[in-house]
């Protein structure tokens, strides 16, 4: 099988028009040469004087140049050949990400804020994935499946970018509801290749984790947790549509509401399910340790497809064109036999 690089219509027309353009240019040059010869003097005399030039060799040289140009043109189009099919298997695990989008995730103890730090780390995680399916659940007082399990990482990132506190009408933080929705996102037919990542500041306003963690263990779901924030209290800003802070949240009595990282809750979740806890408190902290554990899990086949393994072959055409041009330079357009003077000397 053969195929060529795909160029725009304008470039394709420009390349192909080079061929007739060069033919026209060659014919014009030949006609111009004949016209100059006819103006130089008697055509028969000029023919006798130029009898040492071989017209046949000149035609061979022109043919070699023309063939070289055609081969270069074919090489520019990037020909690729293949006679084999390659089978590709995509293996990985199912990963469900639970992202906390409660108001406390807007705290700016981690710059620019906790939620943006979580998004940044998830984007880095996407670049590290090696064929795993991934889903996104956003939660606050309630949970919502934002993206089901998918291999389309671009779609996941698009939904991640629009995930904020405005998606959940009920504020607060409910880990039990989020984990329950996350477990429903897994493939019920596969109970072995499952991992969950919770990114939150750890504030749980609902409790009741025992039952849902027990269910996660029964379904072989490993839950990793990542804490975002510092251990010291920080106010929760009120952000307008332009992203500017217009004030800070206060209680009914006018006191400023503060939030801090509750690592104990997140550590409990990960320990109960055999996962890992990481603290995303600095620029160097990341989800790499968690993904390292996920890579150590047993992998399953997620997809399989065959494709034709095309290989670039343009260089063969360029090399042959170069050889033809070298031959054209080596061939002289003079007759190979020595021609002696056959005229007469005239004495005065």
Residue with tokens 């390292």, as numbered in its chain: 292
Q: From first to last of its 348 residues, what are the pLDDT tens digits of the chain?
A: 666 666 667 777 777 777 788 778 878 877 887 777 677 666 666 666 566 667 788 788 888 888 888 888 888 777 877 766 665 666 788 999 999 999 889 999 888 899 999 999 999 999 988 888 999 999 988 899 999 999 899 999 999 999 988 888 787 788 999 999 999 999 888 878 889 999 999 887 666 788 999 999 999 999 999 999 998 888 988 877 777 778 888 888 888 888 899 999 999 999 999 999 999 887 777 899 999 998 888 777 665 656 666 777 888 888 999 999 898 888 887 765 555 555 555 555
φ, ψ dihedrals at 102, nearest 5°: -70, 165
Question: Would you kindly state where each structural domain of the chain is located, as residue ranges?
Answer: 2-83+310-330, 89-304
- C-beta of residue 124 within 8 angstroms of C-beta of residue 287: yes
Determine the pLDDT at residue 191: 79
Scanning the chain, the segments in alpha helix (DSSP H) are 9-40, 43-49, 55-76, 114-128, 153-161, 175-184, 209-218, 263-273, 288-295, 314-330
Alpha carbon 149 to chain centroid distance? 20
φ, ψ dihedrals at 74, nearest 5°: -65, -40
Determine the pLDDT at residue 198: 96
Determine the pLDDT at residue 343: 54
CATH architecture entry for 89-304 = 3-Layer(aba) Sandwich (3.40)
């Amino acid at each position: 099988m053969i195929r060529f690089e795909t160029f725009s219509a304008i470039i394709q027309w420009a390349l192909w028009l080079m061929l007739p353009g060069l033919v026209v240019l060659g014919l014009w040059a030949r006609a111009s040469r004949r016209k100059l010869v006819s103006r130089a003097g008697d055509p028969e005399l000029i023919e006798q004087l130029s009898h040492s030039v071989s017209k046949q060799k000149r035609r061979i040289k022109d043919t070699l140049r023309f063939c070289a140009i055609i081969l270069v043109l074919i090489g520019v189009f990037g020909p690729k050949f293949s006679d084999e099919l390659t089978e590709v298997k995509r293996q990985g695990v199912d990963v469900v990400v639970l992202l906390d989008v409660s108001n406390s995730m807007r705290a700016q103890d981690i710059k620019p804020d906790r939620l943006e730090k979580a998004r940044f780390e998830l984007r880095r995680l996407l670049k590290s994935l090696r064929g795993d399916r991934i889903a996104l659940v956003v939660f606050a007082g309630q949970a919502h499946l934002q993206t089901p399990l998918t291999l389309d990482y671009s779609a996941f990132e698009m939904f991640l970018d629009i995930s904020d506190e405005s998606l959940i009408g009920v504020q607060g933080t409910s880990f039990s509801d989020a984990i329950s929705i996350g477990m429903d996102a897994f493939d019920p037919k596969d109970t072995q290749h499952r991992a969950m990542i919770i990114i939150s500041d750890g504030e749980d306003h609902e409790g009741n984790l025992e039952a849902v963690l027990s269910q996660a263990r029964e379904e072989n779901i490993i839950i990793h947790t990542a804490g975002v924030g510092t251990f010291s209290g920080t106010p929760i800003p009120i952000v307008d549509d332009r992203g500017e802070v217009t004030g800070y949240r206060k209680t009914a009595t006018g006191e400023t509401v503060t939030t801090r990282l509750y690592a104990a809750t997140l550590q409990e979740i990960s320990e109960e399910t055999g996962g890992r806890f990481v603290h995303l408190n600095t620029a160097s902290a990341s989800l790499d340790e968690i993904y390292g554990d996920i890579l150590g899990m047993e992998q399953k086949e997620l997809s399989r497809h065959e494709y034709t393994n095309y290989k670039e072959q343009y260089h063969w055409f360029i090399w042959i064109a170069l050889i033809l041009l070298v031959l054209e330079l080596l061939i002289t357009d003079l007759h190979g036999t020595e021609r002696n003077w056959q005229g007469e000397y005239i004495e005065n």
